Structure 1
Amino acid sequence: MPTYKCPTVGDCERANNGEIFVRSPGEDLKCPECATLLVPQIATKKTESNPKLIIAAIAVAVVVIGVAGGGLYYKKTHSGSVETTAAVAPEPTSTPTVAPAAANVPSQATSGGISPSDADISAQRKESDAKLKQGDASGAESASNQVAAKEMVKVAIAQMSQGKLDDAEKELNNAAARDPKQSLVYYNLAVLRLKQGRTNDAFKELEASFLNGFTYFDEMQKDPDLDAIRNDPRFTALIKKYRTTT
């Protein structure tokens, strides 16, 4: 039987105790204590092994740790800023299906900036889990990075609302490194630049957001942080150029 361990040492009592979990194929692979995905344990018996199986197991283990690490990062460093969404309720033991792309799911309204919706993040997290179960390590890692980037955007918006602009800038830069194509990263960087009094840089970030597929124009019209530039000819020109082509 395959064996697993919880990777969240320091945050989970069962991980601290080094508890071993035995799971049959198809059983839930989340830790019963903290709901983090369990990490498969590679047998150390000195028997003739299949190199291909070992390579595949290592690849899956790397992705599992990456998925768990993204959630643990927020649990450790941002528990006081926004509500963590790292723990996911156990899913039904039915045949996994890949969730459809949720790029156009309406975002959550905030007092400033535009935040990814919880539904969008949840759908993408399920997509990552499904790809992992199907053995698509590369696809699972990509979806996991997109989830982490959107979580970082939510944290950055909360930090901006508290006046922690330096912290928000670091968070958004980290989000851009995780998912360079995430339009909401650049949109909220534009909001941050306006708060910093860097209007020219704000327009550059705003255009970068539009170039990466920004679709939240209705939400943008309600964002009070853009009021300072709504009458600027550059803003009007950008909206005219990109809203008609999306």
Structure 2
Amino acid sequence: MAQAATARCRNRVNCDLALRAELIEIPQDGRCPECRQPLQTEANSSGSATDEARRKRIRLIVLSGGAVSLCLAGLLVWGLQGTDAPAPEVTGMDIASMEASNIKQLEPPAGESPPPLPPVALEPVSTAPSLETQQDIKQGMVFVSLAKQNPKTRSENIQNALVEFDNAIKKEEAQGRCFAIAYMNRGVAYWQDKKLNLAEKDLLKASECDPKSPIVFYNLASYYAAINKTDLALEPLDKALDLGFKDCDVLRKDSDLKNLRKQKDFRRVLEKHSLFCLG
């Protein structure tokens, strides 16, 4: 037997049936018996099993949709807060790997030279000889003086002088210095010992070690004049005068310059430097 259609009146303004939400069996004219408003058919609370299943399915869909929405909302919030999330703990090996990576990033690209380092300031090195070297020079000069005073021991004292000057040269060379005075005195000692090739070599070396020493160039000029190579003596003499050697008395009387004083160019070189020593 078919169940009669029922409905609830929707007129809650002036209908008691609507206010009580009573189910009304729909009359033939389809109107509320109280307020005469049209009624809309609906099943009663004891609807069919199909209707009940449909209602459950709808509720399930609604609940599922809400859960999915919550999940999506959670993912969105997590994504927005990702930059503020605490960093994971890093182990010692991980730190080493990170440091190695940073080092590689700091290396210059292939084919490019690294930027030059700033220049390093070096401490100035004194060119003055050590006290021990100065003592060797003094002792060598003592032997040279003794050689001049006593012809009998001349050769022995010259050899002793050469040893002292040689020691002075070696000590300064060990410190990376070229000691001009030691080379000059050893050259003069070789000259007195008639070892002219060695004398010339040392005198030239002295002029290289100290190209601003007037006494070094004067001794080189004296050596060339003494062995009668006056053409070679003029240039070092001119250099000595240019550096400040102005002793007219020596230029007039030095026996080593005897051959050079006979040359016209000797006077010319002196006059060039405003020295009129020959009268």
TM-score range, shorter chain: 0.3 to 0.5
Q: TM-score, normalised by structure 1?
A: 0.41
Q: Which one has more relative contact order, counting CA pairs under 8 Å at least 6 apart?
A: 1
Instruction: Report which of the two structures shows the higher radius of gyration computed on alpha carbons.
Output: 2
